Structure 1
Amino acid sequence: MPLDHTARGVYVIAPTPFHPDGRVDLASTDRMTDFFLQQAGCDGMTVLGVMGEAPKLDQAEALDFATRIVRRAGKAGIIVGVSAPGFAAMRALARGVMEAGAAGVMIAPPPALRHDEAVATYFRQAVEAIGNDIPWVLQDYPQLFQVQMPPALIRRIVTDNPSCVMLKHEDWPGLEKISALRGWQADGSLRPLSILCGNGGIFLDFEMERGADGAMTGYAFPDMLAELVRLCAAGERDRAHDLFDAHLPLIRYELQPGVGLAVRKYVLMRRGIIASDAQRKPGSGLSATAKTEVEYLLGRLARHDPRARV
């Protein structure tokens, strides 16, 4: 089904599994898809995102990888990151994945944009390029893209582009931004919009309380994120925070710039979800010391959550 503003739950950011020699690992891709959607309780997946090493895949590989996941996912919603330096490549990938059955696409702003008018114009042109029949996710990640999108600008982009149905909220700090957007929805000055949050889930406990609909991130325990979202939706605040607090040290460790993907892939490998923690070059792995630290964190987490017993 096409993505719309009612989307909620967990759309886990999927890494791209590689063999140590750099080839895409198709067997791990299938196993990962099955785990995320059938065992972890995720409502969907987002592929070719920031932590999916998308720039390291060529256009054909990206389309093939996304199509494989879409076809294996069945009815689950698959969102595909289509951000690209030029609109021609963006359009080709967006149209290709939608024809394969994707639910929608995600677009991030290029780092060169420096004022509101430029940002609004960019997204208007991006929608013209891919077609206004494709539902899309606005990615707000200023820490990485160096593009500031205050609430009023997000409201303008959403209002100007009816095919924008979701915000991927990754501003930090960003709790007040969620409150502002939900307040505008309540008074009718902003149409309904799904809000899923990223940043490794590090503020997901309070983001849910501020009105987020769930998570779109790639923490190595997406099954925990799915449980946390369910607990928040059920009003079980203390249980939700207790669960979150147990995972917070590992979430923090995984959120380190530069090595975060290496940590995530290592834990996914230790959980048996992917066969290798390899990244396609250029990429960095974990030192022996870092691996012992991750193992220590897993051991401590296992005292509270048996999912960490790897």
Structure 2
Amino acid sequence: MDFGRLITAMVTPFHGDGEINWEATSKLVDYLIEQQKSEALVVCGTTGESPTLTEEEKLELFSFVLKKADGRCKVIAGTGTNSTRHTIQLTKEAEKIGVDGVLLVVPYYNKPNQEGLYQHFAAIAAETSLPCILYNVPGRTSVSMSAATTLRLAEIPNIVAIKECASVDQITMIATACPDDFHVYTGDDSAGLATLAVGGHGIISVASHVIGDQMSEMIEAFVAGNVQRAGELHRKLFPVFKGLFECPQPLPNPSAVKFALNLRGMDVGSVRLPLVSPSEDEAAFITALLK
């Protein structure tokens, strides 16, 4: 399964009362595919506020986005949790719905060792025929899966990719030794070009909500061998890559990108507690950044 080179980790639109806004979700899917050039969408990932979505809401979102995408892009369900049994259950439900793959985050809070991580992901892969994408994000999970563990998991046929957020060094180690059909993505927008340069396949992105068309152009330029043009585009987009997360001070994802989408006329609402919307200063910074 090739999920493409530019994948958007999609936000979940809400009404003012915090309930899912299905009309806005429909418009967002069209917008990301048609205007922002997303080749696949991750539904109910961290950017989609998965920690505050119920299981029922997740399954509804998987089904709704799959039907709305209607074959125009791949749909990847964020089914990973810190419970192996619960992840297997949710993954089986997502498979029944018909999604194209699942994103499986490193278990958070439990702090398993490397063998525990291997057994966790191997157990999930054994219970589904879906392509599985691993997700290593130590800044959120407090545990980092080593390159060696990832490479061991890459030998399992339906574990087909990783979203790696530890470092470009780790991306390099994985890309150097993984099977040819195992794809390495960065989850850090600002590391996108570097990831491609060391043999990675693409980006699972947040910034692609607002600059996806230009990110797609950057990727296409690099793949075509026009490294100078790719570098120019990266440098142009770099302030947005960094600004959506740092603002005047670090701002939890997806608070900034939801505000940015609202500025662009895509009414996705705010975030659910315990996240909060940008402050007045942060809002002014994001507004200036997009201009």
TM-score normalised over the length of structure 2: 0.91
1:191, CA displacement in angstroms? 5.1
**Letter of the aligned partner of 2:111 in structure 1?**
L
SS at match of 1:202: helix
User: Could you say which structure has the greater relative contact order, defined with CA pairs below 8 angstroms and 6 or more residues apart?
Assistant: 1
CA contact (8 A) 2:76 2:99 kept: yes
Q: In the alignment, is the contact (CA less than 8 A) between 1:262 and 1:277 conserved in 2?
A: no
* Structure 2 match to 1:198: 187
1:1-310 matched pairs, under 5 angstroms = 4=1, 6-75=2-71, 76-111=73-108, 112-128=110-126, 131-159=127-155, 161-172=156-167, 174=168, 176-185=169-178, 190=179, 192-199=181-188, 201-219=189-207, 220-256=210-246, 257-273=250-266, 275-299=267-291
Q: CA deviation at 1:68?
A: 0.3
Cα deviation, 1:158-182, whole Å, max 9, x if unaligned, reads 22x221011112112x2x3233233
Q: Structure 1 pair 59/113, CA: closer, same or farther in 2 (3 Å)?
A: same
Read off the aligned partner of 2:153 and give its amino acid letter. I
Contact 2:161 2:182 in 1 (8 A): yes
Equivalent residue pairs, number: 284
Q: Measure the CA separation in 2 of the matches of 1:238 and 1:191.
A: 26
**1:109-130, Cα deviation, whole Å (9 max, x unpaired):** 21323422121122122334xx
**The residue matched to 2:7 in structure 1 has which SS?**
strand
| Structure 2 residues without counterparts, runs of 5 or longer | none
Provide closer, same or farther for how the CA distance between residues 179 and 63 of structure 1 changes in structure 2, counting only shifts above 3 A: same
Structure 2 match to 1:303: none
Q: CA RMSD in A?
A: 1.7
Of stretches 87-96 and 16-25 in structure 1, the one that deviates more from structure 2 is: 87-96
Q: In structure 2, what is the Cα distance between the partners aligned to 1:249 and 1:260?
A: 16
1:118/1:291 CA distance change after superposition, 3 Å: same
Q: 1:295 Cα shift?
A: 1.6
SS of corresponding position for 1:196? strand
Could you state the TM-score of these two structures normalised by the residue count of structure 1?
0.86
| Structure 2 letter corresponding to 1:94 | T
**Cα separation, partners in 2 of 1:132 and 1:98, compared to 1, 3 Å:** closer
8 A Cα contact 2:11 2:48, kept in partner: yes
Q: Is the 8 A contact 1:165 1:193 kept in 2?
A: yes
226 and 91 in structure 1: CA distance in 2 versus 1, 3 angstrom threshold: same
Deviation at 1:206, TM superposition (A): 1.2
- When residues 36 and 202 of structure 1 are mapped into structure 2, their CA distance, relative to the original with a 3 A threshold, is same
Q: Measure how far apart 1:69 and its partner are.
A: 0.3
